[in-house]
Amino acid sequence: MTGPEAANRAFWDADADDYQATYGATLAAAPEAWGIWRIPEATVGALGPVTGLDVLEYGCGAAQLGLALAARGARVTGLDLSVAQLGHARRAAAAARQPLPLVAATATATPFADASFDLVVCDHGAMSFCDPERTVPECARLLRDGGRLVFSTGTQLCYLTWDATTGRQTRKLRAHWQPRWVVAADGGTVDVVWSHGEWIRALTAHAFTVDDLVELLAPPDARSTHDFAPAAWAQRWPAEEIWCATRRPRSAT
């Protein structure tokens, strides 16, 4: 592992305790929900029924989402490249008395056999931090025919209007649009902020059919402890989005 992925591991290993101290309770209070506003999956409907499915949470952190899906009858495996984050997941699974296999590996090179899963899911997980030219084919390899890839990420709009000089979200375009935009972030890590066209082309090229793109607005009563997209901004413009795609049958690719 080199470059941004190695930086990501170092960053998350160092930051895991602070991250979970800041956000863990909010995530655990609304585990089956999306993004910084914790919009319920029951409202969004991106995942559908999960009972009996083999599910991979792809960049699981403390696996709050994975544990909630396991409680609904899915067979969930959590994958993360940060051993410190996985320590939080292990303790959360033990506290919930929920068996949850956890695997330390980078999302671009996982140790699972082909066609191991029915659903690969992440909420601001590995899809947001790795090269989609590597994660998308890896997800296509891991999914069974007809399996689904569902992931949330930040929108280009949110990044385009971020003023890096003042550290504020604004209403003006502050950066040049780039189709395959990779934004330098804390500690040598990167945020992948590809355009919609690039995501559609990558997913389609690697055996997926795009089913939906759900743009998330902050609810009227939204509150968040994140410094990413203040509520007043995110009530007007979507700061987060959820991609939903289905793996095409291998016989058809």
Ligand X SMILES: C[S@@+](CC[C@H](N)C(=O)[O-])C[C@H]1O[C@@H](n2cnc3c(N)ncnc32)[C@H](O)[C@@H]1O
Q: State how far the Cα of 252 lies from the Cα of 154, in Å rounded to an integer.
A: 32
Residue 110 in contact with ligand X, rule: CB under 6 A: no
Minimum CB distance to ligand X smaller for 36 or for 209? 36
H-helix or E-strand spanning residue 66: helix 64-71
> Binding segment for ligand X among 80-88, 113-121, 168-176, 240-248 (CB under 6 A)?
80-88
Residue 59 in contact with ligand X, rule: CB under 6 A: yes
Q: State how far the Cα of 61 lies from the Cα of 78, in Å rounded to an integer.
A: 8
Minimum CB distance to ligand X smaller for 90 or for 248? 90
- For 167, the 3-state DSSP assignment is coil
Minimum CB distance to ligand X smaller for 124 or for 148? 124
- The dihedral through the CA atoms of 9, 39, 71, 119 has a sign that is negative
Residue 77 in contact with ligand X, rule: CB under 6 A: no
Residue 234 in contact with ligand X, rule: CB under 6 A: no
Question: In this structure, how many other beta carbons lie within 10 angstroms of the beta carbon of residue 138?
Answer: 22
Length reported for the chain? 253
Minimum CB distance to ligand X smaller for 124 or for 206? 124
The size of the interface with ligand X (CB under 6 A), counted in residues, is 20
Q: Are 102 and 67 in contact (CB under 8 A)?
A: no
Residue 38 in contact with ligand X, rule: CB under 6 A: no
Residue 113 tokens read as: 């056999």
Q: What is the DSSP letter of 63?
A: -
What is the footprint of ligand X within residues 163-222 (CB under 6 A)?
Answer: none
Q: Are 187 and 7 in contact (CB under 8 A)?
A: yes
Residue 123 in contact with ligand X, rule: CB under 6 A: yes
Residue 5 in contact with ligand X, rule: CB under 6 A: yes
Closest C-alpha to 209, from 180, 252, 169, 179: 252
Q: Which of 38, 124, 148, 247 binds ligand X (CB under 6 A)?
A: 124
Q: Which of 46, 68, 82, 206 binds ligand X (CB under 6 A)?
A: 82
Residue 81 in contact with ligand X, rule: CB under 6 A: yes
Contacts with ligand X, residue ranges (CB under 6 A): 5, 8, 12, 27, 59, 61, 65, 79-82, 85, 106-107, 123-126, 129-130
